[in-house]
Amino acid sequence: TYSGSPFCQTSGSTAAPVFSPAGGTFSGTPGLVINPTTGVINLGSSTVGAHTVRYTSAGFCPATTTAALTLVVAPAATIAYGTSSYCQAATNPVPAATPAGGTFTGTPGLVVNATTGTISLVQSTPGFHTITYALAGACATPASTTIRIDATAAPVFYNVITPNGDAKNDYLTISLPGVTSYEMQVFNRWGKRVWQSNDPNAQWAADGNSAGMYYYWVRFADCSGQTQTHRSWVEVIK
């Protein structure tokens, strides 16, 4: 007998029988690659379908017994999303996955529909995530893909700076990593521009400017390509 049928047609795998008495000869239906002495079947080299193995004992009164088994193809899953990176503000992506009927899972922090594979971007944690698509059955080979979710830029505005060199609130800075087309301008109370930068990591220390109220705006393109413009004010205390 062969335990485990149906077997997967997997390269390099084998199936060994349990038999008695020893010393007989094994044979199989056409397409089955079997060792005539040990009865070990080369599953990867055999053809898919139903097979019958015959074991004939040795001696003057040989007896023959048979065992049935089935060899099936190991289905290989595929999965792909439209791109490898998404902004949290983008439309939730739906994968192309084959064959149908599998289950989707993701790394911690990823909110993915187990049936459709649709990812909820806004509910997921920014960063890299791996999605696995698994089919039912022992022979099935799962497939995985990795995507990156970028956080939608959300600037935090500060309204007081004290540029006195104590390393506390010395600068006006708005950290916006990952944005493009960045521009920031600062104006005094009379509407005169006193500072400008296209570097999202630049800092304004009010050098050469007196204490008082200033107004600024910042414009940038977020990870979804949408332009954001924000305005605020800051008080310089010296």
Structural domain contains residue 2: no
Query: Strand 96-98 to strand 85-87: parallel, antiparallel, or no bridges (unpaired)?
Result: unpaired
Check whether residue 125 and residue 191 sit in a common domain. Answer: no
Check whether residue 141 and residue 204 sit in a common domain. Answer: no
pLDDT of residue 59: 86
Identify the domain boundary among 128, 150, 172: 150
Structural domain contains residue 61: yes
Identify the domain boundary among 72, 88, 122: 72
- Distance between CA atoms of residues 150 and 88, nearest Å: 6
Check whether residue 133 and residue 175 sit in a common domain. Answer: no
Structural domain contains residue 155: no
- Distance between CA atoms of residues 83 and 81, nearest Å: 6
Structural domain contains residue 122: yes
Structural domain contains residue 103: yes
3-state DSSP helix/strand/coil percent for the chain, to nearest 5? 0, 40, 60
Structural domain contains residue 39: yes
Identify the domain boundary among 124, 150, 176: 150
pLDDT tens string, the chain, 238 residues long: the values are: 899 888 988 878 899 999 989 999 999 999 999 999 999 999 999 999 999 999 999 988 899 999 999 998 878 899 999 999 998 888 899 999 999 999 999 999 999 999 999 999 999 999 999 999 999 877 888 999 999 999 887 788 889 999 988 888 899 988 787 788 999 999 999 999 999 999 988 899 998 899 999 999 999 998 878 888 999 999 999 9
Q: Write out the residue range of the structural domain in which residue 85 sits.
A: 78-150
Check whether residue 173 and residue 226 sit in a common domain. Answer: yes
pLDDT of residue 89: 81
Check whether residue 55 and residue 103 sit in a common domain. Answer: no
Check whether residue 26 and residue 51 sit in a common domain. Answer: yes
Check whether residue 144 and residue 191 sit in a common domain. Answer: no
pLDDT of residue 153: 78
Q: Which residues contact 12 (CB under 8 A, 6 or more apart)?
A: 44
pTM score of the predicted model: 0.62
CATH number of the domain to which 180 belongs: 2.60.40.1220
Instruction: Give me the number of domains the chain comprises.
Output: 3
- Distance between CA atoms of residues 38 and 121, nearest Å: 56
Contact present, 52 and 70 (Cβ < 8 Å): no
